[in-house]
Amino acid sequence: MDLLVAHDLRKSYHTRRGSAEPLCGVDLSLSKSQCVVVTGPSGSGKTTLLLALAGMLRLDDGKVEFEGNRVDQFSHKARRHWWRRRVGFVFQSFHLVPYLSATDNVALAIDGPGRRRRAHEVLAGVGLSDRYEAKPITLSAGEQQRVAIARAMANNPDLLLADEPTGNLDTASSDEVYRLFQEFQHRGGSLVIVSHQQATRTIADRVLELDQGKLNTVA
Ligand code: ADP
Ligand code: MG
């Protein structure tokens, strides 16, 4: 069975500065342990699509299902629970809390006792066992993204959603991020990565391109 299914997603924005229709009938399905990369130029609607898949966007039409449950119709409580337990998010600009250590940034995402121990475990898993107490500003961009990935994976999610995860990284750090994503996939995780970077395609089982509000298969 598919883990995540999106059907006929439609979203348009209307502002005083004009209109945009980034999603005009988008279908997508993702099975367990699969990695889908969505490409497309800036402004093509990649972030909008990811927000829709995350249940963070009010759609004009269409539906998103996770294990058969309508994400777009979750109550606030059900959605928070889903985000916390089943989904991890990775962003281009990391979004770490600047005054907290790497450990505390990760621990924020974890519930219950043993939070620091679990935070250390996942930080070690991304190669940061020597930076537990480091504040984000003292870390390189690549290290900051690894903290963010540790945070995203702290609750063993089934699904990782990443928005331009290597957009601010050099080649070596990007490769490290791709390696961590592949490890996640080999453990059974599913990923949707949106990125306009060519290199991201190398880890995809399927590459899709968003163009004029439609999603087309590239490879
Ligand atoms: P991408 O991530 O591929 O760069 P986005 O999903 O951010 O594209 O944006 C797609 C289009 O929708 C763009 O034309 C953008 O200006 C517009 N857009 C995105 N978010 C909003 C918003 N909150 N209000 C108005 N327009 C928006
Ligand atoms: Mg974007």
Q: What is the mean pLDDT of the chain?
A: 96
Counting ligands in written order, the one closest to the CA of 164 is 2
What average pLDDT does this structure show over 101-120? 96
What average pLDDT does this structure show over 77-105? 97
pLDDT at 1: 79
Residue 219 pLDDT level (bands cut at 50, 70, 90): low
Counting ligands in written order, the one closest to the CA of 39 is 1
pLDDT at 112: 86
Q: Which residues contact 102 (CB under 8 A, 6 or more apart)?
A: 123, 128, 131, 132, 133, 134, 135, 136, 139, 147, 150
pLDDT at 76: 95
What average pLDDT does this structure show over 57-71? 97
Q: Say how far apart CA 6 and CA 55 lie, in whole Å.
A: 11
Counting ligands in written order, the one closest to the CA of 167 is 2
44 C-alpha to ligand 1 centroid (Å): 7
Confidence (pTM): 0.96
Query: Whose CA is closest to atom 5 on ligand 1?
Result: 45
Residue 69 pLDDT level (bands cut at 50, 70, 90): very high
What average pLDDT does this structure show over 20-25? 96
Best CA proximity match to 33, nearest among 3, 70, 8: 3
pLDDT at 157: 97
Residue of 24, 39, 47 with the most ligand 1 atoms within 8 Å of its CB, for mutation: 47
What average pLDDT does this structure show over 32-58? 96
191 C-alpha to ligand 2 centroid (Å): 17
What average pLDDT does this structure show over 38-67? 96
Q: What percent of the chain has pLDDT over 70?
A: 100
Angle between the 171-186 and 141-153 helix axes, to the nearest 10 degrees? 10
Using the atom order of ligand 1, give the atom closest to the CA of residue 51. 6
Q: Say how far apart CA 7 and CA 215 lie, in whole Å.
A: 11
Q: Max alpha carbon distance in the chain (Å)?
A: 50
What average pLDDT does this structure show over 156-185? 97
Q: Say how far apart CA 168 and CA 175 lie, in whole Å.
A: 13
Query: Whose CA is closest to atom 24 on ligand 1?
Result: 13
Match 């979750």 to its residue by tokens.
Answer: 74
Q: Which residues contact 180 (CB under 8 A, 6 or more apart)?
A: 126, 146, 149
Counting ligands in written order, the one closest to the CA of 38 is 1
Count of CB atoms situated within 10 Å of the CB of 73: 12
Strands 2-15 and 18-31: antiparallel
Residue of 9, 11, 12, 13 with the most ligand 1 atoms within 8 Å of its CB, for mutation: 13
Please state the length of the chain.
219
Q: Say how far apart CA 2 and CA 28 lie, in whole Å.
A: 10
Whether 181 and 206 have beta carbons less than 8 Å apart is answered as no
Whether residue 218 has pLDDT greater than 70: yes
pLDDT at 65: 98
Residue 2 backbone dihedrals phi, psi, to 5 degrees: -70, 145
- Tokens standing for residue 127: 């190669």
Best CA proximity match to 146, nearest among 186, 109, 181, 182: 181
Per-residue pLDDT of 114-154, as tens digits, reads 999 999 999 999 999 999 999 999 999 999 999 999 999 99
What average pLDDT does this structure show over 172-198? 96
Q: Say how far apart CA 135 and CA 126 lie, in whole Å.
A: 16
Query: Whose CA is closest to atom 10 on ligand 1?
Result: 45
Pocket lined around ligand 1, Cβ cut-off 6 Å: 13, 15, 20, 22, 40, 42-48
Q: Say how far apart CA 127 and CA 150 lie, in whole Å.
A: 10
